[in-house]
Amino acid sequence: MPEQPTTEPRRSTLVLVAERAGVSIASVSRVLNGQPASPQLAERVRRAADELGYVPDASARTLKTGRTDQLALAVADLGNPVYVKMMHEVARVAAKNGYRLVLSSTGSDADDQIELLNSLNRGFADGLLLSPLRVTDELVAALQASRIPAVVIGSLPPEAGVDSVRADSVAGVGLAVEHLVAAGRHRIAFVNGPVDTVPGAARLEGYLRAIDRLGLATTADLQIAASDFTYKAGRKAASRLLQQCSPDAIVCANDLIAVAALKELAARGLRVPEDVAVVGMDDSEAAELADPGLTSVNLGSAKRARTAAKLLIRRLENPGADAQTVTIEPTLTVRESTLAAGGEARA
């Protein structure tokens, strides 16, 4: 039994509420926004609003005030647990400060991010958080020209003049390699993500520097780059790696790739950590869920996300301030995948 199609109840507006309460629309607006009013008037307004099921219209308010009370978070790959973690943190900070969070999933290209920025310039959000994999000059330019302030979670050229919160990937990979060396590993391989991404480049540098600093050797055989930061690509890369060399440890550019390496090793009958130790990066839920538990470099993604959100909110309140760059230091979370070579394996 469908309702009468014509008698649509017409959403209530300030005018309707005002009429019902017998006051002016200005008074309604004031009361509903918590501005001073006499108790009786306030009471009548609230009653009328309740009875009418009044809900203020967002677009009208935004048009008038220029504010949306929304923060946008652009994430390139929601399949990656790191972004999920970041999202949670941002959502918390946003909510605490009276902002709603709108998620925009984008592709991984800088172009996608630019398109998103344009879309945001139509006024959907008051500010933007984004964590770009690839940073081009165009992206930086778009960021600078943006109508709304943006904070980048990741590394940016310092002269960009855009707020950013970066992880120290170089130090992070160093932590991993040092840990492996301390555990008695020597032939340390590296499965990277795409080198033309910001994190990819940084992690490769970290690997090479650590190998060098610790007086180890590496060869081209020991290094490989997956085509992206996903499990599937990681699996392929790990397979090729194990065809071309026999490491006693593998450092992976993120946890998804590390899980892939774990699977690939198992498929080849290699034991972890006895035969090969594995380290991931991001210390995401995937590291905890993996079997064996995955030692992982915590790049502070949660803290970065929180910090970025706070930075953005601060900038919204104070648009004139100079751009900041914050760096979060990495730590290492040790799990079963890197137990020392002197453990059970020796028995």
Partner DNA sequence: CTGTTAGCGCATTCAA
Partner DNA sequence: TTGAATGCGCTAACAG
Binding site for its own copies (CB under 8 A): 2, 5, 11, 53, 55-60, 62-63, 68, 78-79, 81, 84, 87-88, 91, 100-105, 118-119, 121-124, 145, 147, 231, 259, 262-263, 266, 285-286, 288-291, 319-320, 322
Q: Contacts with DNA in 152-181 (CB under 7 A)?
A: none
Q: What is the 3-state secondary structure (H, E, C) of 279-343?
A: EEECCCHHHHHCCCCCEEEECCHHHHHHHHHHHHHHHHHCCCCCCCEEEECCEEECCHHHCCCCC
Measured from the CB atom, is 175 or 309 closer to its own copies?
309
User: Sign of the CA dihedral 100, 103, 104, 110?
Assistant: positive
Q: What is the contact mask toward DNA in residues 265 to 284, using x (rule: CB under 7 A)? A: --------------------
Measured from the CB atom, is 100 or 236 closer to its own copies?
100
* Least distance between its own copies and beta carbon 156 (Å): 17
Token pair recorded at residue 9: 């109840």
Q: Rounded to 5 degrees, what are φ and ψ at 54?
A: -65, 135
- How would you classify the pairing of strands 223-225 and 188-192? parallel
Q: For residues 58 and 125, what is the distance between their CA atoms, to the nearest angstrom? A: 12
Residue 27, interface with DNA (CB under 7 A)? Answer: yes
Which parts of the chain fold into alpha helices (H)? 14-21, 25-32, 39-52, 58-65, 81-96, 110-120, 137-145, 169-182, 198-213, 231-244, 255-267, 285-289, 301-317
Select from 2, 5, 64, 346 the one that contacts DNA (CB under 7 A).
64
Picked from DNA, its own copies, none, the partner binding residue 145 (CB below 5 to 8 A depending on kind) is: its own copies
Is-contact 294 262, C-beta < 8 A?
A: yes
Picked from its own copies, DNA, none, the partner binding residue 30 (CB below 5 to 8 A depending on kind) is: DNA
Is-contact 162 118, C-beta < 8 A?
A: no
Helix (H) or strand (E) run with residue 101 in it: strand 100-105
Q: For residues 68 and 90, what is the distance between their CA atoms, to the nearest angstrom? A: 17
Q: For residues 74 and 103, what is the distance between their CA atoms, to the nearest angstrom? A: 6
Q: For residues 202 and 198, what is the distance between their CA atoms, to the nearest angstrom? A: 6
Measured from the CB atom, is 22 or 343 closer to its own copies?
343
Q: How far is CA 182 from each of CA 185, 338, 346, rounded to the nearest angstrom?
A: 7, 10, 16
Measured from the CB atom, is 99 or 229 closer to DNA?
99
Mark the segment that binds DNA (CB under 7 A) among 21-29, 214-222, 293-301, 333-341: 21-29
* Least distance between DNA and beta carbon 180 (Å): 57
Picked from DNA, its own copies, none, the partner binding residue 5 (CB below 5 to 8 A depending on kind) is: its own copies
- Report helix, strand or coil for 35: coil
Residue 8, interface with DNA (CB under 7 A)? Answer: no
* Least distance between its own copies and beta carbon 45 (Å): 18
Measured from the CB atom, is 41 or 323 closer to DNA?
41
* Least distance between DNA and beta carbon 241 (Å): 53
Picked from its own copies, DNA, none, the partner binding residue 262 (CB below 5 to 8 A depending on kind) is: its own copies
Residue 256, interface with DNA (CB under 7 A)? Answer: no
Select from 19, 37, 119, 201 the one that contacts DNA (CB under 7 A).
37
Q: For residues 131 and 86, what is the distance between their CA atoms, to the nearest angstrom? A: 10
* Least distance between its own copies and beta carbon 178 (Å): 27
Select from 9, 65, 220, 342 the one that contacts DNA (CB under 7 A).
65
Contacting positions for DNA (CB under 7 A): 11, 13-15, 23-27, 29-30, 32-33, 36-38, 40-42, 54, 56-57, 60-61, 63-65
